[in-house]
Chains A and B, each alone.
Chain A
């Protein structure tokens, strides 16, 4: 056993990258849930984004275009959910589960001819001399652009929800859709947009796995990250900064336990493998013990019948 082989700087830099797919997906789901929509299809939208981004990148040679199309693909799939729940007024839980199964199926179909191919790599952002600062350089200034995009989206979501009228209206729709409707806000339109935003974020998160983390295409490669993202939103009490904390905690412990495995620590591998889930849930459960609660209309079907 040799714990000195674990370099904390590399570990932190790696956790930021490892947490990005969860962060993106959870941020998107947070927006949807704050608008009152419980979309359990995150996993399906992620894997669809993963395959869309992969196909476009391989065929065009442009990973950037791949990420854009991954967002489009995720949003397109989420439109199916929006149609089911906002127009056909179907149950959100059942529709979300169906979306996950559908996404897993359609992505395997689309990705059949892409197994075993290596995608073009997205170069890291060049921060010039900033990257040479000791400690801070490798941690903060040595990542690919999507890491920063993810953080910007999170900060943007936080600021929008907190400071803008659009954010206030979105929260109002999620809190009490009957009241929002009575005041003249377009509940279904706002929710559809929130669902599509969630789909786009999930799609990008999925593409991050297939284009940067792994990087190749295999069926079902998101491997439950979408479900972690869903749980994260709830345990983060629907607060953006807690989503970031949870995602980094989860990513960090995932990396740490891999390093510990590599260092040959005398703990069975199974315990190490489950540790990220256990620690993340414990920490967020403790945090969520305050008064915050779910959006009032979360998961409820809106029908303008009065």
Chain B
């Protein structure tokens, strides 16, 4: 890490890597274009998580796929649309400076091993395994709700890479801490918590569900307290770095997640109202907080709430 970086007091350690600051792009948001990643990097982002990539390209569901609900909350059932492993390898092939985690989604060990083999030579930080998308059959949460499948998939990815692996867990039918434990036992280095929560919205005029898939995932302000609780419980019970995710819209939310136990924090839905400049705004706010609290490094606040 470059200690001359003006953000050195915001730098955080995640497994064996350092990020210049704890802000990350959450998977599923703006995650398909290297040019956009470079723009976010100029906006001072700590790291990027790409859209979840599958072996074959996926078109996702028809629109409506994203619904702003008001009050900073969103409902989506995009359906894991992504360009597939081949096109996405080409997309990232010239990446020089952007710290990128590739999010992976699939149904079998074979698919995960194929993807990691294709991506591992790229200039990337590591992987995030999506075991928690709540609205696509045979993928995401349908895998995450099966501890044996989680164990096998994480072990398969582990066998194929030395890079850090994060497993993204959500609120499904298995207790989030138990699911995280299975992932860590199978070789995960980091846990990302949480994904969106299964939710629905119906229009009362037409009396019809709005999402084409009817059911989707809730994100944004409404889910932040649930994310905070999950990060708190996982980081308190397991010896693993946790990345917080869910309803972060300001530097204050990042601080709250870190105090709950997060080493880094992902940001997503808020881009729907603020645009990419939010990362600059948040890191500026974090620096002021570090100064005000007279911290040498923001990492000092990670999990500090566990004391009380």
Are A and B part of the same complex? no
